[in-house]
Every structure is written in C-alpha cells, then in structure tokens.
C-alpha cells in the first residue's frame, strides 16, 4: 500500500497541505521501515549462522572430544578408581546449556589430570581442542541471543511504524479526496494504490530466528 501511495503522490501535486499531512512525512516513515526491515534480515541471518556453527561444534564435542576423554578417563581409572565416573558423556539430546556445563567441567577435570592422561598417550592437543570448542560454543549462544534481540527489536518497531504509515495514508486519503475528488479516473487510481497491502515484513521475516539459548536441539 504505502509504496504505491508514495508513487501516486509523487506523480500528482498535493502542494498546499500541512507538512504533517504530505508526502514528506510518508517518505520519512517508509525510509525508517526500510531500515527496520534490513535489521530484521540481519537478525535472522546472524541467528542462523550461529545455529549452523553451534551444531558443528556440538557434534565435535559429543562425537569426538568428550567421548575420547571419557575413554581415557576409564583407562586411567584402572590405576585410580575415582576417575571411573569423572567424565560422563552428556545425553545426545542434552540442552545447549547442559552440554556446555558438562564440557566446562570435563575441561577443568581433565586439565587437573593432564599429566596422568598424557602418560597414557593422550595428546595435549585434545585439551586445546576442548577449550577452543567450549569458547566457540559460548560465542554461538551469545550470537544467537544477539540475533534474536536484533530481530525482535526491529519487528516491534516495524509494527509501530506500520501503524503510523497506515494512519498517515488515512490522512493523505483526505488530502487526495479534497484535491482530486472530482476526477473519477484519478480517484480510481488512488483507491487502487491505497488498497494494496504494504510490504512491511519481508518474506524471510515471517518466521522467527532459529534455535538458541538452552533449547534442546532437534535430532539430526
């Protein structure tokens, strides 16, 4: 609606009305709506990238790093029985926060037993990989939160701007009716312009951003 209204007003002189009722105000609102729509897109893109990367890190943690350290811990337990249950493997469907907590605990305990584990043939690189994976996992969670905040904030503002644009079009309808009400053909074109729904929400924004936080991940 709003873009076609703007094109109509650009094509037909509506001078002589107050600034608040004219094209300039509509242009301002449409420009703000465009910026907010772009922020929505950015928010969704950031969240989706973070989700993809988090899934990769999650698989590495569960399928490789934590699993390997559990095996090393069980081998070490033959010499020190208290290590038998020190490195449990989190459930496959553990929440992101639960997995992160388990990975942090494993990193702390494995670092404390580093000499023992290395003596059994473990490479120091395993602990380096675990520390890096924990850090990356934390960053993806924060990126998801930031992306959702960006999307939600822009969506709320865009809804308000959409309402303001609709109100502005109502005011402009009065202006057009006053100036061009006797021109049947022109009024028909105006009716067509103002009755088309406006593009306040791009198609990409009809759905919320992807998963994040402490949600349980979907099965692969």
Tokens encoding 214: 């402490």
Does this model's pTM top 0.75? Answer: no
> Do 6 and 23 contact (CB within 8 A), yes or no?
yes
Structural domain of 100 = 2-206
Residue 219 forms part of a structural domain: no
Residue 19 forms part of a structural domain: yes
User: What total number of domains does the chain contain?
Assistant: 1
Residue 66 forms part of a structural domain: yes
> Do 61 and 100 contact (CB within 8 A), yes or no?
no
Residue 213 forms part of a structural domain: no
> Do 30 and 192 contact (CB within 8 A), yes or no?
no
Residue 99 forms part of a structural domain: yes
Tokens encoding 85: 């249950």
pLDDT tens digits along 115-173: 989 988 889 999 999 999 999 999 999 999 999 999 999 999 999 998 998 888 888 88
Tokens encoding 5: 């209204």
Tokens encoding 219: 């099965």
Distance, C-alpha 217 to centroid of its chain: 16
Residue 82 forms part of a structural domain: yes
22: left (phi over 0), alpha (psi -120 to 50) or beta: beta
pLDDT tens digits along 20-30: 567 888 888 99
Residue 96 forms part of a structural domain: yes
């Amino acid at each position: 609606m709003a873009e076609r209204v703007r094109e109509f007003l650009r094509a037909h002189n509506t001078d002589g009305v107050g600034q608040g009722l004219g094209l300039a105000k509509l242009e301002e609102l449409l420009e703000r709506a465009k910026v907010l729509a772009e922020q929505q897109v950015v928010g969704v893109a950031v969240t989706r990238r973070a989700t993809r990367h988090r899934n990769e890190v999650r698989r590495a943690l569960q399928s490789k790093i934590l699993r390997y350290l559990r095996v090393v811990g069980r081998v070490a337990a033959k010499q020190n029985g208290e290590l038998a249950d020190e490195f449990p493997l989190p459930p496959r469907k553990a929440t992101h926060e639960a997995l992160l907590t388990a990975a942090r605990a494993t990193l702390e305990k494995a670092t404390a037993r580093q000499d023992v584990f290395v003596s059994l043939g473990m490479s120091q690189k395993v602990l380096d990989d675990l520390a890096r994976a924990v850090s990356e996992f934390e960053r993806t969670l924060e990126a998801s939160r930031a992306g959702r905040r960006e999307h939600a904030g822009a969506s709320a503002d865009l809804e308000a701007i959409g309402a303001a644009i609709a109100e502005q079009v109502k005011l402009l309808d009065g202006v057009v009716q006053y100036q061009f009400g006797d021109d049947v053909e022109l009024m028909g074109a105006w009716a067509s312009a103002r009755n088309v729904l406006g593009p306040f929400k791009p198609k990409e924004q009809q759905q919320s951003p992807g998963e994040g936080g402490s949600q349980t991940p979907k099965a692969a």
